[in-house]
Amino acid sequence: MTSKVYVALRVRATPARAFAVFTAEIGDWWRPQGLFQTTPRAPGRLAFEPAGDGGRLIETLANGKVFEIGSVLAWEPPSRLVFSWRQAAFPPDLHTEVEVCFEAVGEETRVSVEHRGFERVPAENAARHGFPDQALLARLAEFWQAQIRAVGAKVLGG
Amino acid sequence: MADRTALSSALCYRDPKAALTFLAAGFGFELVMLIEDDQGNLAHSEMAFGDALIMIGNEWTDDHRSPAAIDGKNTQSVHIHIATDCDAHCERARAAGFEIIMEPETQFYGDRTYRCRDPEGHIWTVGQTVQAVSREEAAAVSGLKIEGWT
């Protein structure tokens, strides 16, 4: 089994719109966070490229270099998206997994993120910042809450 | 965390994952955070209702117990205040397996309330304001001295 961090929030949009904003506009709403930095460089711009099955989640840095955060494992608009997630500091063979679901609740959409396997980051790895599992996973949950909040703000035209 | 209310309750359950399910079914609470360790044990969880949060956890120290572990005793209970239809709320809770220990009843202070016990023994009260009652009226009906009534 792996650890699991799940967070959910409602956004004011249909699932189709929320899915589109999450994927096509990730470069606009993404909030880089030092604790979960993807590369040692200044944060770049994220994009799903190409958008759809077989795509990748990439980050284009200021110097033009591209870092691959992960690959798309499931692309099922408007309800579900799964991609792998790795940070540059991770051991080469370590991939964690992120599942995003979009579920209609009345006129809103409940956007949930489940990030699995982050506890596999080794104890001495820089990406862990010395945190024990529970603290690390709690911070990861807050990180994803901030991301979904940013999606919610983007949906409202923020 | 942003947008957190100043007070939140944290409840202990022997089976917190089951509690997440019955609290969603009975009260419409929405799971907003769940952290599980690599054994699948719940480490932390939060459910939202309106602008408030409650935390659902396990018996995480020797001094934290579910009512199910202490002969059904409660030392705190959570009150849920709803805007509409207390009776329908009660029926939903009953259907989700909550034991209704006091059926909905309109109280002298103007709220319609009911009381229930969840499957692990936590007692919850639920209320909806259905009448505007002045302090003088409430004091006269109840015989209580009342301060701070707005």
* B42 and B85 in a common domain: no
Confidence (pLDDT) at B1: 46
User: In this structure, are B2 and B53 located in the same domain?
Assistant: yes
Q: Does B37 touch chain A (CB under 8 A)?
A: yes
Q: Is residue B133 included in any domain, yes or no?
A: yes
- In total, how many domains does chain B have? 2
**What is residue A148's predicted lDDT score, i.e. its pLDDT?**
98
Mapped onto helix, strand or coil, the DSSP state of residue A134 is helix
- Inter-chain CB proximity B1 and A145 less than 8 Å: yes
CB contact under 8 A, B30 and A119: no
How many distinct structural domains can be found in chain A? Answer: 1
Average the pLDDT over A137-150 and give the result.
97
pLDDT (tens digit per residue) in B22-35: 999 999 999 999 99
Q: ipTM value of the model?
A: 0.90
- The domain that holds A105 is classified in CATH as 3.30.530.20
Both B47 and B2 in one domain: the answer is yes
Q: Which domain holds residue B37?
A: 1-58
B-proximal residues of A, 129-158, CB under 8 Å: 133-134, 137-138, 141-142, 145-146, 149
Residue among B2, B30, B35 minimizing CB distance to A137:
B35
Q: Are A60 and A70 in contact (CB under 8 A)?
A: no
Q: Which domain holds residue A11?
A: 4-155
DSSP structure string for B107-147: -TTSEEEEEEE-TT--EEEEEEE-S---HHHHHHHH-----
Do B138 and B81 fall within a single domain? yes
Give the orientation angle of helix B16-27 with respect to helix B86-95, to 10 degrees.
Answer: 140
Mean pLDDT within B125-141:
93
State the nearest Cα–Cα gap between B90 and chain A, in angstroms.
Answer: 22
Among B2, B33, B37, the residue with its CB nearest the CB of A141 is B33
Q: What is the CATH number of the domain that holds B19?
A: 3.30.720.120
Can you give the CATH number for the domain in which B129 is found?
3.30.720.110
Residue B67 placed within a domain? no
